[in-house]
Structure formats: structure tokens, C-alpha cells
Amino acid sequence: MPLLELRDVEAGYGGIRALDGVSLSVEEGDFVAILGANGAGKSTMLRAICGMVRTRGDVLLDGTKIFHRTPEGMARKGVTHVPEGRGTFTTLTVLDNLRVGSWVQRGTSTRDLARVFELFPSLYERRNVRAAMLSGGEQQMLALGRALMARPRLLLVDEPSLGLAPLVLREIFAVLRRMNESGTAIVVVEQTAQLALAAARHAFVLERGRVVLGGDAAGLRLDEPVRRTYLGY
């Protein structure tokens, strides 16, 4: 039974249909990359899973249909969403941001904190600094670190590369891979297809709100049209 399953999910803003019948599934411990052009519906798909947009169709978790999805409800079910634009609490310190991350846990465990600081040593140095003072890369690290604190079963990451230097981006993907290796299923929406395909096990290509291609990430890297459109060679 897949961890997450989307069956014919539709969503729209106003009159515009952003998702036009998306069906796909994510296995326990999977690492899935969602590729596609701007406006293909990638972010909307993540928002649909978390109940941040109105949808039609079914979203199933562990084979159970989840009817009234809300971000806070999905977080309690182990689905953590790192939104686009690195959502952090800018007026809170780094440490407080991480504490909010463990909200769905019994308390903030020092082990989890130690793990985040081990993955992102620069966050440890700036732990008492307000998040607003961090660089873009550090804010993305904080957003990921905060998601880690929730010990999610499924992590949804929206466009982590946005405005980041390549070196920082590589670090982010290295962390995603380590999280995945320790058992967290990951769905990452990315325009920088190269890194995403290298890290992921499976990939789907979205076009105008539909899944037009899906399968093994390694296989997709060799696919001629995918290479031309998303990898640029």
C-alpha cells in the first residue's frame, strides 16, 4: 500500500484550473521529484495534499481517504510541508523556529536538535539570532531543519533552489538524501531538474496540471524529450 496516493485530483484558483486530474503514488521511504515548467501545477499539487487549496478527487494516506485536510491536521499525521520562499518565523530566533518545528512531538528533544545542528552547523552558530537576520541559504536550511524536528513520515519540499547559490543547493540536496536514507519519504518540487533527478528515485513530469510522464528517475534522465526540456542538453 502506498504511503500517499492522489486519485484524479483537481484544483484551481478562481476560474483557472491548476491541477487537471493528477493521479500518482508515493511509497514509504520513496524519494520523488516533481518536474515541470512554471505554472504546470507543481506547487498547487503540494498545496492540494496539505489542504491549502480546495480540491476534487481523493488524497489517501496509508490507503485511507483524508477528507477534510488542513495543514495543521496533515502535520499531525506526519506530513510536513516546506513551502516555497523558505517559510520561517522571521521574528523568532533560530532555536525557537526549531522548537515550533517539534510542535507535533511531545516536546523538543535534544537529540533532534543535535541532529539538525549536525546537518547544518551554521544554524548552531546562529541559534540565538532572529531568523530575519539569516541569509537566504541559511533560511532554507532552517526551514528544512524545522521540518526535520517534526520527524515527518512524508516531507513535501517546494522549490528549495529558489534564489540559492549552487553550492548551497547541493548542500540542501545532500541533507534531503540523508533524511531519505533514514526513512523519510520525500516529494520535492524543483525547476533545477538536474539535482532533483540525481537525488530522487522516482520522478513525475507535470504539464498544464496533468502528469505527462512518470517513472524511474534514472530512466527519465536518459529520456530524450526530458533532457531537452528540463536538463537543457
Partner 1 sequence: MTGFLEHLVSGLASGGIYGLLALAIVLVRRTTGVINFAQGEMATLAAFGCWTLVDHGWAFWPAFGATIALSFAGGAALQVVVLRPVERGPLAGILVLTVGLMLSLNGLMAWIWGGAPKRFDGPFSASLVTVGGAAFSKRDIGVVVASLAVAALVGLLLTRTKLGLGLRAASASPAEARLAGVRVGAMRAAGWGLAAALGAVAGVLAAPSLGLEPNMLQTALLYALAAAVLGGLDSPAGALVGGLLLGVLLDLVGSYVHWVGGELRPATALAVLLAVLLVRPAGPLGVRRA
Q: By CB under 8 A, tell whether 109 contacts partner 1.
A: no
Whole-number Å distance between alpha carbons of 225 and 232: 10
CB of 62 to partner 1, least distance (A): 18
Closest to partner 1 by CB, 149 vs 195, is: 149
A 10 A CB-CB count for 110 gives 8
The residue range among 55-63, 88-96, 134-142, 201-209 that interacts with partner 1, by the rule CB under 8 A, is 88-96
100 binds partner 1 (CB under 8 A): yes
Q: What is the CA radius of gyration of the chain?
A: 17
Residue with Cβ nearer partner 1 (148 or 169) = 148
CB of 193 to partner 1, least distance (A): 25
DSSP string, 96-122: HHHHHHGGGSSS--HHHHHHHHHH-HH
Least distance in angstroms from the C-beta of 148 to partner 1:
12
Interface with partner 1 (CB under 8 A), residue from 2, 39, 57, 83? 83
Element (H, E) at 61: strand 55-61
Query: Is 80 an interacting residue with respect to partner 1 (CB under 8 A)?
Result: yes
CA–CA separation, 197 and 200 (whole Å): 5
| Complete DSSP assignment for 115-150 | HHHHH-HHHHHTTTSBGGGS-HHHHHHHHHHHHHHT
First-to-last alpha carbon distance for the chain, in angstroms, is 37
Total residues contacting partner 1 (rule CB under 8 A)? Answer: 25
Q: Which residue, 50 or 141, is less far from partner 1 as judged by CB?
A: 50
Q: Is residue 162 near partner 1 by the rule CB under 8 A? A: no
The distance of closest approach from Cβ of residue 85 to partner 1 in the complex, given in angstroms and rounded to an integer, is 10
Interacting residue with partner 1 among 43, 44, 55, 88 (CB under 8 A):
88
- Whether 149 contacts 98, CB under 8 Å: yes
Total residue count of the chain as it appears in this document:
233
Choose among 131, 158, 160: nearest CA to 52: 158
**Binding-site string for partner 1 from residue 37 to residue 76, where x marks contact by CB under 8 A and - marks none:** -------------x-------------------xxx--xx
Contact positions toward partner 1, by CB under 8 A?
Answer: 50, 70-72, 75-76, 80-83, 87-92, 96, 99-101, 103-104, 107, 146, 150
